[in-house]
Amino acid sequence: MHIAIAGGTGYVGTQLTKALLKRGDDVSILTRSPEKYQNKQNLTYVGWLKSEHDPAKELDEVDAVINLAGDSLFGYWTDEKKKKIVKSRYKATNAIVSLINKMETKPDVLVNVSAVGYFGNSEMDVFTEEEQVPGDDFLANVAKAWEEEAKKANALGVRTVLARLGVVLGKEGALPLMAMPFKLFIGGKIGSGKQWISWIHIEDVVGMILFAIDNDGVDGPLHVTAPEPMQNDQFSQILATVLDRPNWLPVPSIAIKLLLGEMSTLVIDGQHVLPEKAEKNGYHFAYPKLASALKNIYKK
């Protein structure tokens, strides 16, 4: 297969690219600066999002497109930062749909990666793919607009998967930040500890995206989360045990809010999300349990 990836130079993108190349696929990475990268066997860097680039000429025979593009959520959420978060996702997804529209031969599938933040925050509700009502906070509104733009590919006859990622656990990303207090012997639950963390091992992120590409029956929302989400206090205890560190110093929500501002919602809030569609369609999780996922990441 020939797969095009937008946002392919980030953590998820690089892991996904390795998996695709390992199984023998051809990969084209969409990037603003293709001159910075060296093409390799079965791996090509294609320019886009600049007037001098015309990726449709190079990508006319593509089986699948994966959109991972978007500015990082990490960083103090000033008004300017929030605009950048929104604009980067809208612009990239709009460009993907426009690119598909220009292709004489359309790809079979678009996998557009968004986030479980689509649902807003709740300690009580449980969200599966059957739940269609989004939340009304900043992240929920971003995810909703992001997905609405991606859905336009449906009108072009392209199967469109809305892959909503949970908290990705791996060597990079959120986990090193979550683990740092424990490594410094000052770890503990955050706030009430009752907020849900719908997590997913990086290997299963890659596995579920490949699963979405390969299975025609997977369409619309797809929750890319492990089947056993954890509340923060449980998560903290398991992380402390795996790291062989104490779990004893709770961090008040007010301290996180003062430190991080509005971005603190990523830490002190959450949602209980289940991967019902993946399980019903036969996806086999490499790491369904948090302890085994963390032990794999921190293995000696």
pLDDT value at 300 more than 70: no
Residues 227-241 have a mean pLDDT of: 97
Strands 26-31 and 64-67, bridge-based pairing? unpaired
Domain ranges of the chain: 2-297
Q: Would you call 239 helix, strand, or coil by DSSP?
A: helix
Residues 20-29 have a mean pLDDT of: 97
Enter the tokens of residue 90. Answer: 């809208």
Q: What percentage of residues in the chain have a pLDDT greater than 70?
A: 100
The rounded Cα 1 to chain-centroid distance in angstroms is 22
Residues 80-103 have a mean pLDDT of: 94
Task: Give the bridge partners for 34, in sequence order.
Answer: none
pLDDT in tens, 145-169: 999 999 999 999 999 999 999 999 9
> Rounded mean pLDDT of the chain?
95
Burial class (CB in 10 A: 0-12, 13-18, 19+), 22: exposed
The beta strand positions in the chain, using DSSP E, are 2-6, 26-31, 43-47, 64-67, 109-115, 126-127, 159-165, 167-169, 196-197, 199-201, 220-224, 230-231, 272-273
Note the pTM of the prediction, 2 decimals: 0.95
Residues 227-231 have a mean pLDDT of: 98
Check: CB of residue 114 under 8 Å from CB of residue 163. Answer: yes
Burial class (CB in 10 A: 0-12, 13-18, 19+), 121: middle
Q: CB under 8 Å to 285, separation ≥6 — which residues?
A: 204, 207, 226, 227
pLDDT value at 195 more than 90: yes
Position 259 confidence tier, pLDDT thresholds 50, 70, 90: confident
Q: At what angle do helices 11-22 and 202-214 cross, to 10 degrees?
A: 60
Q: What percentage of residues in the chain have a pLDDT greater than 90?
A: 88
What's the pLDDT at 217?
93
Position 57 confidence tier, pLDDT thresholds 50, 70, 90: confident
Phi, psi for residue 224 in degrees, rounded to 5: -95, 75
Q: Can you tell me the distance from the alpha carbon of 269 to that of 116, in angstroms, rounded to the nearest whole number? A: 12
Position 74 confidence tier, pLDDT thresholds 50, 70, 90: confident
Task: Give the bridge partners for 65, in sequence order.
Answer: 4, 110
Query: Could you name the CATH architecture of 2-297?
Result: 3-Layer(aba) Sandwich (3.40)
Check: CB of residue 273 under 8 Å from CB of residue 198. Answer: yes
pLDDT value at 232 more than 60: yes
DSSP one-letter string for 199-222: EEEHHHHHHHHHHHHH-TT--EEE
pLDDT value at 240 more than 70: yes
Closest CA to 50 of 72, 35, 68: 35
Enter the tokens of residue 256. Answer: 């996180």
Residues 263-281 have a mean pLDDT of: 95
Q: How many angstroms separate the most distant Cα atoms in the chain?
A: 60
pLDDT value at 134 more than 70: yes
Long-range pairs for 36-44: beta carbons < 8 A, 24 or more residues apart? 37/9, 43/17
